[in-house]
């Protein structure tokens, strides 16, 4: 403001005048571009998805839970409650003939020593239990029906004579009066003191969570502690009142029963459990924010963009979705919980829960890390979720698959193609890339012998084709052109004295901004008698009136509106004759004592002035301010604004 005069009254008052220039922004609908879709095992498809406009890069493994050769399991780092391990290492450890891990993602959040925050179970055996929980857990029944619920675990031990005692926890430290079940995941021994009783037991029925397991007592020791835990046996350990229960009611050779039960009530028998937080999809709807608040979330974890991992399933429970999104990198910024939920809903997910993310986010496929972890290397984590096949490897080439199998490129962009070989059950088979022959279905660009494609200058669609030893595959290519141009500013007031510089942005089919040379744009005005515009977008008014500025790129155009107003002298903007439109805002204001009114005790051009009575509620450590505002319209392009 070139000229400003303040009027000092009883209290000093700062008045802020704001001139707002509004411009429209591009609001493109999110387009998920599937770069590759690859069959990686019986009943398993892998997808890589990209959203260039943000940008985002996602990996997704879709598993057919009804396929007879599919297994789903969780795994614990080092096979111990305490332990860290890379997801790829856990997947490799659990792969063997007839039990090949096809894909894996990292699992639950974890604390000190790699202990998972939530409950975990593997093939019916509990690795870690929690007695109270508000966070969502992913689980699978023995029939591979998935579920998501805020699950906790409680239990009971039943002696041969029918007496019973509460089972406090599984694989936790034993405190006063606790009754704990220890298994191979805790360690080589119970690490208990001598003040208790311990039973070494062998299971004679299958393990299952939320179902009774029958045990035979093979040994009983009191007053010693730290009993060894063989890999195929468990230890029931009691202290205080629980020690008395074991001493009084259990003997070597007895058959006892253990019931690890889940809450809330009504849950089925399950074989796999792994923790997450929070639920992000519920009944096919985005539940990211609601789930976060429902499960006790605070702060900005749900709205910040991070690398993330999630697991979900379809409405009919037949398909499982393992999803990762990279973050904190140039190729992918990461997602909020709602953004990840939107993607999963679009993919067909009916229920989903967020898993640990950040630097932990990892997607493994056939022993290869497919995503790009934000630490620039794979992080050790607490546990993982595995997609397994029982199908055998044959090692005989039966299929080839191009990667990527789709491409959307702007003129001059390049994309490098490769291909992989697969046997009957889609296990990788080694191929020789130098023996491949690449070709194009039509003139959409150029392709080199090594598979490097360069997009041509003309908008078109075609295919890149690869031939290898009699096998053939192709990738669909879309060569993109400019689909929209955006002029700025879109609406202004001008005069005949000053130039106004208009700018333009160009966007391709995916909403990605493209920089074009100035000679590819054509500028014009709707009425040359009122205004002119040159080849660089410089506008000047000639006479009062309204005119449109048009910018074109080939057949694509956009328009701005200009009102040319010519004024001289002074024009009254606000005379303070009415309170209409005025409002008060600010910080640390006592709203009871703060108000505005009109006064005739002091005035200049008109008969009244604006009076403000106020009280601040500030202290020496805080700042108080008062803002009085009104939106109004000025004529023409003012040289100066004066306030009295």
Enter the tokens of residue 26.
């591009």
Q: Is 244 exposed, middle or buried (0-12, 13-18, 19+ CB in 10 A)?
A: middle
Compute CA distances 579 → 265, 476, 629, whole Å. Answer: 62, 64, 11
pLDDT above 80 for 17: no
Distance between CA 272 and CA 140 in Å, rounded?
5
Write down the mean pLDDT value for the chain.
Answer: 92
Helix H, strand E, coil C: the string for 27-59 is CCCCCCEEEEEEEEECCEEEEEEEECCCCEEEE
Q: Check: CB of residue 107 under 8 Å from CB of residue 116.
A: yes
Strand partners, 612: 596
Residue 16 reports pLDDT greater than 50: no
Q: What is the pLDDT of residue 451?
A: 97
What number is the average pLDDT over the span 502-516? 92
Q: Evaluate if residue 20 carries a pLDDT over 70.
A: no
- In a 13 Å sphere around the CA of 121, the CA atoms on its Cβ side amount to 28
pLDDT of residue 52: 84
State pLDDT tens for residues 73-103: 999 999 999 999 999 999 999 999 999 999 9
| Mean pLDDT within 358-387 | 97
Closest C-alpha among 412, 425, 496, 401 to residue 454: 412
625 has a pLDDT exceeding 60:
yes
Q: How confident is the model at residue 616 (pLDDT cuts 50, 70, 90)?
A: confident
Sequence length of the chain is 644
**Strands 491-494 and 556-564, bridge-based pairing:** parallel
Chain centroid, CA 561 distance in Å:
40
* 43: alpha, beta or left? (left if phi > 0; alpha if psi -120 to 50): left
- Lowest mean pLDDT of 69-73, 207-211, 376-380, 602-606, name the range: 602-606
Statement: residue 23 has pLDDT above 90: no
Q: What is the pLDDT of residue 10?
A: 28
- What's the pLDDT at 569? 86
**DSSP label of 310:** E
Structure tokens of 531? 């205004």
The model's confidence at residue 623, banded by pLDDT at 50, 70 and 90, is confident
Report how far residue 572's alpha carbon sits from residue 575's, in angstroms, rounded to the nearest whole number.
7
**Which residues have a Cβ under 8 Å from the Cβ of 486 and sit 6 or more positions away?**
24, 26, 504, 505, 506, 507, 558
Phi and psi at residue 35, in whole multiples of 5°? -75, -40
Q: Which of 537, 532, 530 is nearest to 552 (CA)?
A: 537
pLDDT recorded at residue 29: 66
Is the pLDDT reported for residue 26 higher than 60? no
Q: Which residue has the higher pLDDT, 7 or 140?
A: 140
CA distances from 344 to 49, 58, 322, 372 (A): 12, 11, 10, 20
Q: Give the residue-averaged pLDDT of 298-303.
A: 95
Residues 440-485 pLDDT 10s: 999 999 999 999 999 999 999 999 999 999 999 999 999 999 999 9
Token representation of residue 373: 């972890």
Task: Please state, in angstroms and rounded to a whole number, the distance separating the CA atoms of residues 72 and 144.
Answer: 8
Q: What is the C-alpha to C-alpha distance for residues 612 and 599, in angstroms, rounded to an integer?
A: 10
In the prediction, which pLDDT does 639 show? 85
Interval 257-267 mean pLDDT: 94
The residues, any chain, with a CB within 8 Å of residue 629's CB and separated by 6 or more, are 16, 18, 582, 583, 585
* The predicted structure's pLDDT at residue 290: 97
Q: Which residue has the tokens 């450890």?
A: 93
Using the predicted structure, report yes or no on whether residue 27 has a pLDDT greater than 70.
Answer: no
Rounded to the nearest 5 degrees, what angle is found at the Cα of 498, between the Cα atoms of 493 and 504? Answer: 65
Centre a 10 Å sphere on the Cβ of residue 451 and count the other Cβ atoms it contains.
18
Q: Does position 9 have pLDDT exceeding 80, yes or no?
A: no
Tokens of 607: 């008969």
Specify the 3-state DSSP secondary structure of 242.
helix
Written as one string, the DSSP assignment of 313-374 is E-TTS-EEEEEEE--SBTTB--B-HHHHHHHHHHHT-SEEEE---GGG--EEETTEE-S--T
CB atoms under 10 Å from CB of 606, counted, come to 12
Tell me the C-alpha distance between 52 and 332, whole Å: 9
Confidence of residue 217 (pLDDT cuts 50, 70, 90): very high
For 211, other C-beta atoms within 10 Å of its C-beta total 19
Residue 44: its pLDDT value, please? Answer: 98
* Rounded distance between C-alpha atoms, residue 613 and residue 592, angstroms: 10
Which 8-state DSSP code applies to residue 114?
Answer: G
Strand ranges of the sheet holding 513-514, from the earlier edge strand across to the other edge: 482-488, 503-508, 513-514
**CA 59/CA 31 separation, integer angstroms:** 16
pLDDT tens digits along 309-324:
999 999 999 999 999 9
The strand pair at 279-282 and 85-86 is best described as unpaired
| Pairwise CA distance, residues 612 & 602, whole Å | 13
CB 174 within 8 A of CB 192: yes
Percent of the chain with pLDDT over 70: 95
Asked whether the predicted pLDDT for residue 57 surpasses 80, the reply is yes
For the segment 423-433, what is each residue's pLDDT rounded down to a tens digit? 999 999 999 99
Dist CA 309 CA 360 (whole Å): 9
* Residue 170 Cα distances to 77, 270, 271, 364, angstroms: 17, 16, 15, 30
SS3 call for 385: strand
């Amino acid at each position: 403001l070139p000229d400003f005069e303040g009027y000092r009254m009883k209290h000093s008052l700062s008045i802020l005048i704001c001139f707002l220039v509004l411009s429209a922004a591009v609001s493109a609908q999110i387009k998920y571009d599937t770069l590759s879709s690859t069959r990686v095992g019986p009943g398993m498809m892998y997808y890589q998805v990209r959203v260039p406009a943000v940008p985002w890069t996602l990996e997704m493994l879709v598993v057919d839970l009804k396929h007879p050769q599919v297994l789903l399991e969780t795994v614990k780092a080092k096979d111990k409650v305490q332990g860290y391990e890379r997801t790829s290492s856990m997947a490799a450890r659990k792969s063997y003939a007839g039990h090949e891990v096809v894909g894996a993602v990292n699992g639950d959040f974890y604390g000190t020593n790699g202990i998972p925050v939530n409950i975990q179970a593997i093939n019916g055996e509990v690795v870690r239990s929690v007695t109270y929980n508000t966070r969502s857990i992913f689980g699978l029944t023995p029939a591979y029906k998935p579920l998501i619920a805020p699950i906790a675990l409680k239990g009971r031990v039943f002696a041969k004579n029918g007496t019973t005692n509460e089972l406090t926890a599984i694989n936790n430290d034993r405190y006063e009066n606790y009754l704990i079940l220890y298994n191979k995941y805790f360690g080589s021994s119970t690490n208990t003191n001598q003040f208790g009783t311990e039973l070494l037991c062998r299971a004679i029925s299958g393990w299952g969570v939320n179902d009774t397991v029958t045990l035979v007592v093979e040994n009983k020791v009191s007053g010693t502690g730290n009993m060894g835990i063989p890999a195929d046996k468990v230890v029931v350990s009691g202290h205080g009142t629980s020690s008395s229960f074991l001493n009084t009611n259990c003997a070597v050779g007895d058959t006892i029963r253990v019931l690890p039960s889940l809450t809330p009530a009504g849950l089925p028998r399950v074989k796999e459990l792994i923790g997450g937080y929070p639920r992000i999809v519920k009944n096919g709807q985005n539940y990211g924010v609601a789930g976060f608040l429902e499960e006790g979330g605070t702060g900005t974890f749900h709205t910040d963009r991070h690398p993330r991992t999630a697991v979900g399933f379809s409405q009919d429970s037949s398909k499982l979705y393992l999803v990762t999104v990279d973050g904190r990198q140039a190729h992918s910024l990461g997602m909020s919980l709602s953004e990840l939920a939107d993607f999963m809903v679009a993919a067909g997910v009916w229920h989903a829960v967020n898993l640990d993310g950040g630097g932990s986010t990892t997607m493994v496929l056939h022993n290869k890390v497919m995503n790009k972890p934000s630490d620039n290397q794979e992080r050790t984590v607490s546990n993982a979720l595995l997609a397994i096949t029982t199908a055998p490897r044959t090692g005989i080439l039966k299929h080839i698959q191009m990667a990527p199998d789709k491409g959307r490129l702007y003129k001059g962009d390049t994309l490098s193609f490769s291909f992989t070989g697969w046997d009957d059950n889609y296990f990788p088979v080694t191929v020789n890339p130098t023996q491949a022959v690449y070709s194009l279905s039509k003139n959409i660009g150029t392709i080199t012998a090594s598979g490097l494609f360069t997009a041509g200058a003309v908008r078109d669609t075609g295919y890149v084709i690869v031939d290898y030893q009699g096998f053939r595959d192709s990738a669909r290519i879309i060569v993109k052109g400019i689909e929209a141009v955006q002029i700025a500013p879109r609406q202004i007031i001008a005069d005949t004295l000053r130039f106004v510089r208009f700018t333009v942005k160009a966007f391709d089919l995916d909403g990605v901004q493209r920089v074009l040379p100035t000679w590819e744009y054509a500028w014009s005005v709707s009425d040359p008698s009122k205004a002119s515009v040159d080849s660089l977008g410089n506008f000047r008014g000639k006479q009062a009136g309204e005119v449109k500025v048009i910018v074109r790129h080939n057949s694509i155009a956009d328009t701005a509106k200009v009102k040319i107003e010519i004024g001289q002298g002074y024009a009254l903007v606000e005379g303070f004759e009415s309170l209409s439109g005025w409002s008060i805002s600010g910080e640390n204001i006592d709203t009871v004592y703060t108000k505005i009114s009109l006064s005739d005790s002091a005035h200049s051009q008109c008969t009244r002035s604006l009076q403000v009575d106020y009280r601040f509620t500030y202290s020496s450590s805080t700042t108080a301010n008062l803002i009085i505002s009104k939106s109004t319209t000025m004529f023409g392009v003012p040289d100066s604004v004066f306030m009295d």
